[in-house]
Structure 1
Amino acid sequence: MFRLFSTHLQLIALVCFSISLTTLPRLTAQDAVADPPAENTENAAGDDQPAKDLDLESPAVDPGQEDLDEAAILRFDAKSTRELQAVERLLQSAIKKGLSGENAAFSKKMLGSVLLQKSQQLIAAMGQARGNQPLELRDEALRTLEQALANDPALVEAYLLVARLNLLPGGDKTAISEATTKAIEILKDTPVERSAALMLRALTWGPGEEKKRMDDLNAAIKDDPKNLEALRARAALRLQDDDISGAIEDMEQVLAEDPTNQQVAQAVVEKLAELERVDDALKLLSKALEAKPSEGLYRLRAILYRMQLKEDEALADLNKALAMQPKDPISLLQRAEISVARNELQAAKDDLRAAERIAPAVAAAEQAIIVRYMIAFQEGRMADAINEIKTLIDRDPSSDRYKLQLANLYIQDERPRQAIEVLSTMLDRDPTNVSVLRSRADAYLAVGEHDKAIADYERALKVAGDNADEFDLSGILNNLAWVLATSPKDGVRDGKRAVELGERAVELTESKEPHILSTLAAAYAETGDFEKARQWSTKAVELGKEQDHNQTDQLEEELESYKANKPWREKQETEENAVPILSPDDLIDT
């Protein structure tokens, strides 16, 4: 039956053909060498018994045998799409013509294998496709895999490919669950491979099915304790369930296997930081760094140290990161920020310029803009600082943080009315923002609109309640008490209320702030109790001198007024700064 083209192909063909030989009757050696018996002839020993007939009739050949044999030979070297299609056609033809027994089973196994390989080629082509072609190729690959599994239901690789293709956008999660479940059943004796299948199935469970996801992840990790993908997924699920200790345990295992996996470390560190578990995050990073030092992990730990205001430790880690990778622009920018905070402006400028030389695109990064803003602010270049913050706002118009910074810059640059405009826009969207209410009240004070300032302070206090930890409650109390005690407008002042607010502010600051002691003194003076006014004012002056306070001169003037039994009056009326703000193109080089 075989068409043999070489000794090599003869051997391959014989291997494949051995399946069909299993249907032949087994012959003994004696039978194989005996002469064929003649009809009605006696045996050689002269025995009277007639010789037994041997049935040497050739076995029946399946109608599709020739196509199957040819397919088996071609399959050995088939790699291209055309060659695989040729094998597929021959197998389909053999099955259609008719195969029996092991030939039928063998043909289906081979066809399943060919279709699996064909689907793999389609999947590989998806990476080079454009437009709608990837989706069309995905659908064709899925149809091909369906045919492969119809021919060989035990083809585990096909089930896993079905699952992975359906993980793509628009995929069928039910199909993923069904395919992975089949694969899990087939892989019962191969735990590492089954672990990967369990991980795939875990991805299919949606909201409300967290227990099923956790069960699959636990099973996957039991089968393969080094399945990093399953460990990462379980850590994320544990974080979601507030099982912080469990999540840290999983992440420690991941980092033990892959100490340089900064993405994993960063994900869990960010979550821990969000949950205010910075100490836990630091321990996790320190263990990772013990296993294998990495500039990225040093940089990440430096950020955590900065969150804890541990600038020395942060600087030490950034120096280590830069020792390992001197051309790391992110570490340079981090170190520049620390230098600005320490008023080491030249060092900050050097790091900023180095980062921008290494990666020019860094100049447009948010962190670089913030460093430039901080340098400009420290150097008193308010117009430049304002322009840098405006750049950040243009990128993210919804950022209240940057808008609030812009308003405060306007106030410091003696542009309070521009600040009021920015703050009013923010309050239109969120009327209960305490920080914005306080800032607009300060701006109203600066332009002498005391009634409006008092209204904003009162609203801020109402929203803040007793939450001194989240809000600068002492600052709001102090400023409101000050205007109620010192406003030149008779209808605005309220000495009794000012004393109440001032005492609370003093209590919150533990009598350690000279200007807040001064406010309480002004409040008592407004009520006519000049003895207490002089007592608190004297404490304010003494503390101011001790701290070298920048308002010590005014504190002394206030005390002299109270010694003369005169209340203090103050009306700020800032003249709007008329100097135009330069455009970003005119910024001074820092």
Structure 2
Amino acid sequence: MLRLQVLVTALSVASVFASGVAEAKPSEPSTALEFIRQAEAAKVKGEWDKAIQDYNAALRLNPTSTGILIGRAECWANQGRWSKAIADWDQIICFEPKSSIAFCERGRAWSRKQEWDKASADLNEAIRLDSKNARAYSQRALIRLELFQRDRALTDAQDAVRLAPVDADALACLGYVRITRGELTQGFKDLNKALQQDPSFSTGYALRSVAWEAAGQLDKGSSDIEMAIRLKPNDGLNYLMRGTSWAVRGEWNRAVEDFNLAIRLDPENPEALVRRAMLWHAKGQYDKAMTDLNQALRLNPKHTHALLQRGITWGAKWDFEKAIADFDAVIQLMPTQPHAFTARGCAWGMKGEWDRSLADHNERVRLTPLDADAFINRAAVWKYKEEWGKALADLDQAIRLSPNNPKALIDRALFRATCPVGTFRDGKASVADARQACEILNWKNMGYIEILAAAYSESGQFDDASKLLQILLKNPEYAKINGDAVRYRLKLCDQNKPFHLEIDR
């Protein structure tokens, strides 16, 4: 958020101080200004509570000063107390109803609470009031990404850069939008340019870390998110992003630690609760997952990601009716939410209703034809319908769209190692896919290593398969959940038999 002095200038110095400090009694302006100076000094030190106390004192003397309200709103934001920040911006807008910056900043606060409709309304108003407000376009672009409006997001991000061609925030936003569209080369150019313009721009490093991970370069992604945290150690979003990175690598305990930090630093953002719930789910701790998801929905009853994940957790608890009800709610709130169609399709599949399942997965492909995940998930349905050629075709398409996508690679490896129809099995190709997936994740994902063991077995490398399975049994957490299956496959290895797994119907 912009510093007090910059925002005061943008909101008009005359109007800010005419209503506040300038009209106070002769003995009061210096006292109010002293509180403001103390608050500013506290902010520099990151002493947000102290700064808020000083702003409160200044406001008691000058209750209509928008400059003081702006400073306090910034403090609330840095504490993740977005409702209080919004309350201050409400007052500012009452005093300055034509301030594009005020609507933009309130929109940003709504977006941190993931109240997308309210955020969009404020940013639309900010742009209506000032069509040259580049920050408003950047913020709206990020919201449109959340709403799966990728083309409109790109237009907004391009407009932001057109208006502010050397602004780090605008450039980073455009780069991130391009990364989400699979335009990695141009996305990296924009993100690198943003960081050249402002080497201390924390958000730029955080967004570039996502780009590195999309490119399969996890170590570089880790370096960037660590830099973001060093630059801005009290921003909950940085820990949310690092926690997600740990989770992808299978470092679940580290991920939980980061999500805990994100929740503490940004308590009104439901997303950290949802991400932590996803970890509890992955660990098989469904009741803990439900607790976090219900808390997220108390913060925001229309939070589609929380509803989506709760539906997935209901499915894991074998309550598919409740799962489908949650997925229906997501689709009603956001008809273009592609993951809801995938999840509902999976739920229909678990009920054995494969035609309805396929219809939902087809809709996902229609909504996101350039998204590898859409094809990965539909491939699973084709396998259950025993349409082996179509399953392999979808996995091939997923890898064409995202050559370093570890999920696509590992699913194709599993298919080539275990398909019940021998003409589709290919042990050598399966090993290549599985090794590539494991290397991308730095050999941290135990499930992927188990699939590599299956690939080795199919290619006749039973000793290599056996070594990997024994390593898995030495991992207490993995062995606790999957030990019986691993021991069964180890027994097959001892008999020089590959893992031709049956489809679980």
Q: What TM bracket, shorter-length normalisation? A: 0.3 to 0.5
Structure number with higher relative contact order (C-alpha < 8 Å, ≥ 6 residues apart):
2
When the two structures are superposed, what TM-score results if normalisation uses the length of structure 2? 0.47
Structure number with greater Rg is 1
| Structure (1/2) with the larger helix percentage | 2
When the two structures are superposed, what TM-score results if normalisation uses the length of structure 1? 0.41
